[in-house]
Amino acid sequence: MKRFLYRALIALHPPRFRERFGDEMMCVFDESAASGNAKFFADGLLSLARQWLVRSGLWKVAAGAAVSALLLCGWALAFTRSVNRSLDRGLEVMAGNPAFFEPHTSLDEQEFEREAAQAIAILAEIRKAEKPKHSDAERQTQQHL
């Protein structure tokens, strides 16, 4: 069981290290079995962390990701602050100008309704003026027939 676990620990090492030293590490484990090799597990775990994090260059990827995340956070913070500042400035301008708060919309609506009513009245007059002409023409056609 211990041998199987140690082999699994070696198998988790980066391929470059495992292919070069994996068999030898297993050989040392087998040779030291009589004298006790319980400490080898702690050493194996440390070695695993060292090989992946330090020797394989994974730490560079992790550091790059951390720096990118920090830059992204900094940019997002600066952007949010800039938007907040613009909004504050806008609100200040609006607060300094009371015209912003007058009910423009209701005035516009009344004007629109008045103009619409005028337009409808004009259309009705046009129709009224056109209708008799049309009926005279129809009447003439019927008499002719």
Binding another protein (rule: CB under 8 A), the pick from 50, 85, 104, 139 is: 50
* Torsion 67-56-7-37 (CA) sign: negative
- Where does this chain touch another protein (CB under 8 A) — which range of 46-54, 67-75, 90-98, 120-128? 46-54
118: contact with another protein by CB under 8 A:
no
Q: Are 13 and 22 in contact (CB under 8 A)?
A: yes
Angle formed by the axes of helices 2-11 and 39-49, nearest 10° = 10
In the stretch 9-38, what mask flags binding to another protein with x, by CB under 8 A?
--------x--xx-xxxxxxx-xx------
Calculate the CA 110 to chain-centre distance. Answer: 44
Task: Note the residues at the interface with another protein (CB under 8 A).
Answer: 17, 20-21, 23-29, 31-32, 39-40, 42-44, 46-48, 50-51, 55
